[in-house]
Structure 1
Amino acid sequence: MKRVAIDLHYLPTLEFFSAIYDAEEVLLFPKDLYQRQSFLNRTKILLANKVETLSIPIKGRRPRIPMDQVKIDFSQKWQAIHLRGIQSAYGKAPFFEYFFPYFEPIFQEQEESLWKFNLELLTICLKLLRWPVRLVSVEKGEDSIEYLDIRGQITPGRPFLERNFYRPQPYPQLFGLDFEPNLSILDLLFCLGPEAGTSLKNSAKKE
């Protein structure tokens, strides 16, 4: 059985899914310490004139605490901003009307835990991709099984080309003449629909 340990991201990039595409289990570690400048609270979408980063505001100064203790700051109207951005970016995409209803209710919840919010979104993404992978939360001291550990490798601060997980496979996007690689999984799902899983398989770098 192939198991991959990876950080939990907010509506992850295509690189994230390329890295786990043939895993039977994806191991997530809620007690790992929060790292600044990570994909835990940010994702990228394609608007008409630019790539936009959507960031979820986090409470407090965020000392080195476990990931599952990071709390979302609801004093800012980020949910409306993110939903409006997603609708503006993909409202005319071929599969928007089919897939957006899966995501919208999750944004309308007041889930305080960023970990639980991201986990719910990732579960929906895997369902729409029709991938039978199991998500397993691993507590401290439970990681005696063998797995490929790529935690800490997929970060915003380094280009994906420096890593060996994702080989861009262009697909029709709504905006721009040039293909924009490695956006949020939303871009692929809304543009390709049921073909998204095949595209990701082709994007995964073979060892």
Structure 2
Amino acid sequence: MQNILLPVFYMPPVSWFSVFLDAEKEIVFEQFESFPKQTYRNRANIYGANGKLSLIIPINHNGKRETKDIEISYREDWRNLHWKSIKTAYQSSPYFEYYEDKFRKIFDLKEKFLLDFNLKGLEVIQQILKTEKAHSLNEEYIRNPDEINFREKFSAKNPSEFEMDEYYQTFSDKFGFLKDLSILDLVCNKGPESLVYIKKIKQLY
């Protein structure tokens, strides 16, 4: 059994779940890294009417750097804005109505810390996927960890390195298939088949 060191993301991309849900791997979440900007730690990509849309959680710039200490800013009503964007994007998808109430729970959360928000969001998503994958949190930052290091494997800026099949997306007639969006995109379009799809994704290790 190998250990994987994973960053904790906001409604993570599909590829992240292919690593997280690997039955052969033990998952350790990174909480002591210096918080990197412009990553999936506080953003999720969905498929909007005009193509890829990034939903970004604003953070308080209070000088704290470790991921576990990063605080969410509520100066703007971003939770309501994100939820409206999601409803607009997916209300005509095959399974949105079926999962709507469960996804809505994520946007009822009001956690002080980003890490806590993301972890509780993950609990909701695991309920939707009907999975119960265990995980632990690391206890210190190690530059060269013993675990397989996935801290920098998921880029919000560059195309995904993971290989995955195309599936129907609500606006794919306009812009084609957009690969490796948030798990929300997969679930709304594939529904109960999402888990089977995730397990077929070609791994990077």
- Give the TM-score normalised by structure 2: 0.88
Q: C-alpha deviations, 1:146-189, integer Å up to 9, x for none?
A: 5322112212233213xxxx212111111122211111000001
State whether structure 2 residue 114 is matched by structure 1 residue 119: no
Counterpart-to-counterpart distance in 2, 1:106 and 1:21: 20
What is the distance in 2 between the residues matched to 1:88 and 1:37? 24
Pairing of 1:45-60 with structure 2 (within 5 A): 45-60=46-61
Runs of 5+ consecutive residues of structure 1 not aligned to the other structure: none
Equivalent AA in structure 2 for residue 121 of structure 1: G
State the shift of 1:64 in Å. 5.8
CA contact (8 A) 2:18 2:198 kept: yes
Change (3 A) 1:77 1:2: same
* Structure 2: gaps of 5 or more residues: none
CA contact (8 A) 2:110 2:117 kept: no
Give the 4+ runs in structure 1 shifted more than 6 A.
none
1:181-207 alpha-carbon deviations (Å, 9 max, x no partner): 111000001111110011111123375
TM-score, scaled to structure 1: 0.87
C-alpha RMSD over aligned residues: 2.1
Kindly report which structure 2 residues correspond to 1:4-153, keeping only aligned pairs within 5 A, or say none.
4-23=4-23, 24-60=25-61, 63=63, 65-140=65-140, 147-153=147-153
Cα deviation, 1:110-141, whole Å, max 9, x if unaligned, reads 21111100011112222322334212112128
2:178 aligned partner: 180
Query: How far apart in 1 are the matches of 2:129 and 2:114?
Result: 22
Distance 1:83 1:115 in 2: 19
Superposed displacement of residue 92, structure 1: 1.8
**Mapped contact 1:2–1:22 kept (Cα < 8 A):** no
